[in-house]
Chain A
Amino acid sequence: MSLKPNAKTVLEVKDLKTYFKTDAGIVKAVDGVSFTVHEGETLGIVGESGSGKSVTNLSVMRLISSPPGKIVGGEVLFEGQDILKLSETEMRSIRGDKISMIFQDPMTSLNPFLRISTQMVETIRLHNKDVSKKEALARSIEMLKLVGIPSPEKRIQSYPHQFSGGMRQRVMIAQALSCNAQVLVADEPTTALDVTIQAQILELIDKLSSQMGTAVILVTHDLGVVAGMCDVVCVMYAGRIVEKAITDDLYARPSHPYTEGLIKSVPRMDTANKNNRLFSIEGQPPNVIDLPPCCPFHPRCHKSMEVCRHAYPPIKDLGNGHEVACWLYAEEATRAKALQDAEQQEKV
């Protein structure tokens, strides 16, 4: 499925399940997600708000706050080792050093009580004890320059509240990039930034990925970014991956009705009829508490069938690693059987 068939597999997530226990019931925020990231590859995750993208990434880092959250199943293999089974100490040597993360919310992700310099220097020195404070500071300043902070030598001594949201986001990015990790998890890294900076940052990440062989997991809402940056795309809906394909494949042949809708709803310059109203997917994403067995997308799907209301679709490989979870691509026999099983279930 990879574009670079002989690249080393760095991170492999298998059937990951993360649930939250709340007063209203169990939230299945991530429910059986699998994907693989190779060296130098960028994997995009797209999906509506609340589909479980951030929870997936936090689970990979084992940063789900517990309670209420818990990783209840699956494996996260980093270089062949299941990091869900590591001790907390071992996990610490992976975080920040092997896998680093850019968080979604720049306003609150920096410590308001510490200077930027303190926070950046500590990031660099944490896994590299032999770097002196001075060197680390110089490197931090360089990183800040790289992400486009003006006069970083001065600004590095500021506190986060003295920075704008976009600048904070860039500090977060600089901080995450400064550790040269093998995997970079970027959760909507550029949402808070204006277009020019956005392009610069993405270019930076891209360069990093291709030069250093860093594997990148990029979460974004922007399908344009996905098209430009990602080698492979996963589309998430209600805690599951509903379609996964090589980027070009996905755009050429969106197979899941949801993906189709997503791509159609992007405004395009080249559409012939400018008067056409923008396409949008009707309805709201479901609340992932106590969902009955069904395709969670069926209430909004214009191709929904009877079976969609009663069973979750199996994953079907359409060739070239293009996987889709939709009843449209299942054989008639499978559908019939699923319906029967569901009826059986309901009777019991």
Chain B
Amino acid sequence: MTKYIVNRLLGIIPTLLIIITLSFFIVRVAPGGPFATERNLPEVVKRNIEAKYHMDEPMIQQYGRYMFDILRGDLGPSFKYKDYDVNYYIANSLPKSIVLGSWAMLIALVFGISAGIIAAVKQNTWIDYASMGIAVIGISVPLFVIAPVLQLIFAMKLQWLPTSGWYTTGEGYKTIILPAVSLSFAYFANIARLTRSSMLDTLRSDYIRTAKAKGMKNSTIIFKHAMKGAMLPVISYLGPAFAGIITGSIVVEQIFRVPGLGKFFVQSSFNRDYTLIVGVVIVYSLILVFMNFLVDIVYAQLDPRITYK
């Protein structure tokens, strides 16, 4: 197992290298970026950037320095705002995004898996049709339609929940409900469909027939014998789901005015604040790579057939 983990960790390295290299060059080739010859920047920012990037050094040296900085967790100064580092912005906004994304993932997992199992067990009943109907909606209706519509209904018309914002005190938890639910919807839908189909496949398999021939109760069959096998496709879907939630959070944060990382990302890409863009992408990629790693470990834990080599 340890060997497997080490191996997987080594596998991450090329991905990280590519991300960092890409971002290094993006900042350098971007028109109007920090390395374009003539630019209208406040004097302070200009000095910050020059000091930071050591533009007088040869490329290789700059690259090494850049790599080292990132490994240390230093993402450099903002390209548009004079007094702040990219780190400052990320430290401020990332926690909010993580809270939002975690809730969305949790909702999607819990409801998706339960709905999928119920639908599979009660195949071709109204429960099955209803949950799969909702799932089809979740898959077909884009996030940026679901979010405003939910906002319109639950916040503006019914006034049950706050329209937007992000508070952590008092009834602040209410501000997270709408964004998290909208963000989770598509993933709930996919997980529900995936769970249902893999559960049905598993229930049709020979080893479930063996369990039935032993005279087992249905509930035992499902939870003891079928669950593990049926969860494997869902687990492998989690990687793409994390990526989707990260991307989706950009829209959700925009619509519900959550001051998270996603909102910064859009802002900075309009401002051409390249250092911030690149910083955000590196952080997102790190999260994603780490999540994929976790998913792989969980998968290997679940499936005894995976050999740790």
Contact = CB atoms under 8 A, between A and B. Distances in A.
Question: Do A and B touch directly, given a CB cutoff of 8 Å in the complex?
Answer: yes
B14 interface: no
B225 interface: yes
Interface stretch (B75-83, B203-211, B291-299): B203-211
B213 interface: yes
Interface centre among A93, A96, A113, A122 (most CB of B within 10 A): A113
B217 A113 contact: no
B222 to A, nearest CB: 13
Interface in B41-63: none
Contacts of A224: none
B228 A113 contact: yes
B229 A97 contact: no
A109 interface: yes
A111 B304 contact: no
A103 interface: yes
A100 B217 CA distance: 16
A86 interface: no
B209 A161 contact: no
A159 B215 contact: no
Contacts of B213: 61, 63, 95-96, 100-101, 103
B216 interface: yes
A108 interface: yes
B210 A111 contact: yes
Interface residues on B, range: 20 to 34
A161 to B, nearest CB: 5
A111 B225 CA distance: 7
A112 B214 contact: no
A61 B214 CA distance: 10
A112 B209 contact: no
A92 interface: yes
B29 interface: no
Contacts of B224: 114, 122
A153 B212 CA distance: 26
A113 B304 contact: yes
Contacts of B228: 113-114
B303 interface: yes
A103 B225 contact: no
Given A65-B204, A159-B304, A161-B305, A110 B215 contact: no
B302 interface: yes
B216 A109 contact: no
B216 A126 contact: yes
Interface in B164-222: 204-217
A148 B118 CA distance: 42
Contact of B215 (A58, A126, A161): A126
A109 B210 contact: yes
Contact of B212 (A95, A97, A108): A95
A123 interface: yes
Nearest to B205: A108
Given A94-B215, A101-B213, A109 B207 contact: yes
A96 B215 contact: yes
Contacts of A96: 213-216
A114 B225 contact: yes
A96 B221 CA distance: 14
Contacts of A127: 215
A105 interface: yes
Contacts of A114: 224-225, 228
Contacts of A97: 215
Interface in B214-262: 214-217, 224-225, 228-229
Contacts of B216: 92, 96, 122, 126
Contacts of A112: 207, 229, 304-305
B134 to A, nearest CB: 24
Contact of A108 (B207, B215, B303, B305): B207
B305 to A, nearest CB: 5
Contact of B214 (A105, A108, A123, A161): A123
Interface string A79-115: 0000000000000111111001101010011111110
A242 to B, nearest CB: 28
Contacts of B204: 65
Interface string A45-79: 00000000000001001010100000000000000
Nearest to B206: A108
A63 B212 contact: yes
B214 A122 contact: yes
A143 to B, nearest CB: 14
Interface in A172-187: 172, 179
A113 B229 contact: yes
Given A111-B208, A179-B214, 4 more contacts: A63-B213, A103-B206, A103-B213, A109-B206
11 contacts: A65-B204, A92-B217, A95-B214, A97-B215, A100-B213, A103-B210, A103-B213, A108-B206, A111-B208, A122-B216, A172-B210
